C-alpha cells in the first residue's frame, strides 16, 4: 500500500555547520500511498516512526499534512479496527454522499469530511520517538478513493 | 475586503546577529479582513503567499490562527466555489442557527462550527512558498458575520 | 482538579551553551487532570499561561496535545459557560452514545468526537504570553470520563 516514493529535502539552519553538532532547522519529505476504497482509514504511524528514525529526527515538531481536498488526517485508536469503522460510518450519516449538493463531481461529502477532520496534525517528537498516547495511531483518511495519494511531512527541531 | 492592517514583529534568535546569515527564529504578524455575510468562506491563500514573500520566510512552519470564537480556519478546494457553498450548507444543517441553545446571543451554531473546523492550521513553508496541494486553498471561515476580523500568523524557521 | 504532576524536560539546541543567551530549541512537559463527568470541557488556559511563565517560554509555538482517543482539545469562548454546554449538547446529538456501533466498549461516540474536535492545537507564544483572542480559552474536552487524563506540551522557540 505504501510506495517507496520518499524524497528527502534537508534545509539546515546556518548553525548546523558549526563543528559536529546535530543538524537543526526545517526538514521536509513526503511519501505516497494508494488507497483501495472510497472511504478508508489507513494507519500511517509505523511509516512515520520509520521516517523519524531514518532521518534521525530527535526533538521537535512533526507536521503531517494531507495535500488533498477530499482526504484528511486524524489521530484515533490503534487497537480495535471497529473504532475507525464506527467513525467512518457515523460521519457518512452526517455528510451523506447523495445529499443535495451543488458541486457536480459527486464528492461534496468528501470535501466536507476533509474540513471536519482537518488537513494536518502536529506531533511532538521526543528523543527520536513520536510522543503519542498508548492507544493512539495517526490515520490518513481517504474519503473519495480509491486514489494514489501523498503525505507531506515537515520537521522543525534537531 | 482585506485591509492593510499588517503589523510585523520580528523576534530573532540570538544567532541571527552572527554575520550575514538569514534571520531565524519566531516571527509574528497579523492582518485584518472584513466579512460581508453571516456565513462566508474567504480565500486568504493569496494574502498568505504575499506575506511569506514580503517577510522573506523561506523554510519553516506557518501557523494561521483565528483569534475569534465564532469563526475558524480550514483548507479546502480552490477551484469550484460550489464546494465551499456545499460545506457551509451541510454544516448549517448539522448545527442550525435556531436549535434549542442556552447561550442567549443567538450564535451558538457559530461557536459549534468554530470548534468543528478548528481555530488554526499549520502550513509547511518550503523554499519561500506555501507547500500546499494543487487544489488547496486556505479559508477564513466566518460563521457569525458580517464583522471586522483578524488573522494571527506565526512563522518559525529561517 | 489539576494535579501537580508536571514533569519538565528541557532539550536545548547546542547554541544554548554559547554564553548567556536565552535557551532555544524544543522543550516538552506534561500535566495531569482529573475529569468528573462523562462529557466535560475543562478550561486549561490558566494552567498553560502559568507553565509558559514558569518555563520562561518567550517566543515560539506551543503545541497542546491530548494523548487520549476519547478526548480532545479545542479553543472556544471563555466567558459564558453556556457556550461550551451548547457545544457538548449539539455534538452529542450528532454523535449519540447509543447509536448502532460495532465497537463493543460503548464509547464509539467519544472516539468520533475526539476526531471531530482534534487531538491538539497550536498556540503562538509572543513575549511570554499565549497570543489568544480576547474571548478565547483552551479547553480539554472529556468525552468518556470521569478519568485521570494527561496533557502533553511541546514548545519550540526561545
Task: Tell me: pLDDT of B6 over 70.
Answer: no
Nearest CA of chain C to the CA of A1: how many Å? 24
Q: Do C63 and C38 contact (CB within 8 A), yes or no?
A: no
Nearest to A137 by CA among A34, A41, A44, A30: A44
Counting residues of chain B whose pLDDT is more than 70, the rounded percentage is 85
Q: How far, in Å, CA of A98 to CA of A139, rounded?
A: 25
Q: Can you tell me the mean pLDDT for B139-157?
A: 98
Residue ranges of the alpha helices (H) in chain B? Answer: 45-54, 81-94, 108-117
Are A157 and C111 inside 8 Å of each other by CB? Answer: no
ipTM: 0.88
Collapsing DSSP states into helix, strand and coil, what is residue C91? helix
Residue C81 lies in a domain: yes
Q: Do B58 and B129 contact (CB within 8 A), yes or no?
A: no
Q: How far, in Å, CA of C58 to CA of A132, rounded?
A: 26
Counting residues of chain A whose pLDDT is more than 90, the rounded percentage is 83
C-alpha cell at C65: 496535545
Nearest CA of chain A to the CA of C68: how many Å? 6
Residue B68 lies in a domain: yes
- Per-residue pLDDT, A23: 57
Q: Can you tell me the mean pLDDT for B64-83?
A: 97
The strand ranges marked E within chain A are: 2-10, 25-34, 40-43, 60-65, 71-77, 120-126, 129-130, 136-142, 148-157
How many other CB atoms are there within 10 angstroms of residue A53's CB atom? 11
Q: Does C123 touch chain B (CB under 8 A)?
A: yes
Q: Do C22 and C9 contact (CB within 8 A), yes or no?
A: no
Counting residues of chain B whose pLDDT is more than 90, the rounded percentage is 82
Nearest to A126 by CA among B33, C123, B120, C25: C25
Collapsing DSSP states into helix, strand and coil, what is residue C109? helix
Q: Does C75 touch chain A (CB under 8 A)?
A: no
Task: Tell me: pLDDT of B144 over 70.
Answer: yes
Residue C43 lies in a domain: yes
Q: Does A138 touch chain C (CB under 8 A)?
A: no
- Band (pLDDT 50/70/90 cuts) for residue B9 is low
Residue A88: in which H helix or E strand, if any?
A: helix A81-94
Nearest to B98 by CA among B114, B87, B109: B109
C-alpha cell at A45: 504511524
Chain A residues in contact with B96 (beta carbon < 8 A): none
Could you tell me the residue range of the domain that residue C42 belongs to?
36-122+129-157
Q: Can you tell me the mean pLDDT for C93-101?
A: 95
Task: Tell me: pLDDT of B22 over 80.
Answer: no
Residue C13 lies in a domain: no
Considering only residues B7 and B110, tell me which one the structure prediction assigns the higher pLDDT. B110
- Per-residue pLDDT, B5: 41
Dihedral sign computed on CA atoms, order B31, C157, C118, A47: positive
Q: Does B122 touch chain A (CB under 8 A)?
A: yes
Q: Does C18 touch chain A (CB under 8 A)?
A: no
Task: Tell me: pLDDT of B52 over 70.
Answer: yes
Residue B65 lies in a domain: yes
Task: Tell me: pLDDT of A15 over 90.
Answer: no
Nearest CA of chain A to the CA of B149: how many Å? 21
- Which among A9, A94, A111 is the nearest to B83, CB-wise? A111
Residue A96 lies in a domain: yes
Chain A residues in contact with B156 (beta carbon < 8 A): 156
Q: Does C126 touch chain B (CB under 8 A)?
A: yes
- Per-residue pLDDT, A158: 87
Are A65 and B158 inside 8 Å of each other by CB? Answer: no
- Band (pLDDT 50/70/90 cuts) for residue A98 is very high
User: Minimal Cα distance from C22: which residue of B?
Assistant: B14
- Per-residue pLDDT, B55: 96
Q: Using alpha carbons only, what angle is made at residue B109 by residues B105 and B112, rounded to the nearest 5 degrees?
A: 115
- Per-residue pLDDT, A7: 47
The domain that holds A76 is classified in CATH as: 2.60.120.460
- Which among A60, A74, A134 is the nearest to C115, CB-wise? A74
Q: How far, in Å, CA of C145 to CA of C40, rounded?
A: 8
Among B90, B103, B117, B143, the residue to mutate for chain C (most C Cβ within 10 A): B103
pLDDT in tens, C5-50: 444 554 444 443 333 344 568 999 999 999 999 999 999 999 999 9
Residue B23 lies in a domain: no
Q: What are phi and psi of C26, to 5 degrees?
A: -95, 130
Torsion of CA B22, B23, B28, B32, to 10 degrees: -40
Nearest CA of chain A to the CA of C131: how many Å? 19
Interface B-C, measured as beta-carbon pairs within 8 A, has a size of 112
SS3 content of chain C, % helix, strand, coil (to 5): 25, 40, 35
What is the reported pTM?
Answer: 0.89
- Which among B61, B135, B156 is the nearest to A69, CB-wise? B135
Q: Can you tell me the mean pLDDT for C96-119?
A: 96
Q: Which residues pair with A71 in a beta bridge?
A: A142
Residue A5 lies in a domain: no
Task: Tell me: pLDDT of B45 over 70.
Answer: yes
Nearest to B63 by CA among A111, C123, C154: C123
What domain count does chain B have? 1
pLDDT in tens, A36-92: 999 999 999 999 999 999 999 999 999 999 999 999 999 999 999 999 999 999 999
Q: Does A104 touch chain B (CB under 8 A)?
A: yes
Task: Tell me: pLDDT of C92 over 80.
Answer: yes
- Per-residue pLDDT, C106: 93
- Per-residue pLDDT, A4: 38
- Per-residue pLDDT, C158: 87
- Per-residue pLDDT, B13: 42
Mean pLDDT of chain C: 89
Nearest CA of chain C to the CA of B47: how many Å? 19
Q: Do A73 and A138 contact (CB within 8 A), yes or no?
A: yes
Q: Does C11 touch chain A (CB under 8 A)?
A: yes
Q: Does C64 touch chain B (CB under 8 A)?
A: no
- Per-residue pLDDT, B24: 65
Amino acid at each position: 500500500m505504501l510506495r517507496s516514493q520518499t524524497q528527502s529535502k534537508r534545509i539546515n539552519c546556518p548553525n548546523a555547520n558549526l563543528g559536529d553538532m546535530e543538524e537543526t532547522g526545517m526538514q521536509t519529505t513526503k511519501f505516497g500511498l494508494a488507497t483501495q476504497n472510497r472511504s478508508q482509514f489507513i494507519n500511517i504511524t509505523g511509516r512515520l516512526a520509520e521516517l523519524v528514525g531514518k532521518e534521525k529526527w530527535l526533538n521537535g515538531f512533526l507536521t503531517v499534512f494531507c495535500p488533498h481536498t477530499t482526504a484528511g488526517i486524524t489521530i484515533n485508536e490503534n487497537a480495535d479496527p471497529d473504532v475507525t469503522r464506527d467513525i467512518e460510518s457515523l460521519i457518512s450519516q452526517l455528510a451523506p454522499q447523495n445529499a443535495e449538493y451543488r458541486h457536480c463531481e459527486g464528492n461534496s461529502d468528501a470535501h466536507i469530511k476533509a474540513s471536519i477532520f482537518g488537513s494536518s496534525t502536529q506531533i511532538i517528537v521526543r528523543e527520536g520517538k513520536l510522543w503519542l498516547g498508548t492507544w493512539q495511531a495517526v490515520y490518513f483518511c481517504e474519503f473519495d478513493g480509491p486514489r494514489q495519494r501523498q503525505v507531506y511531512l515537515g520537521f522543525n527541531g534537531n
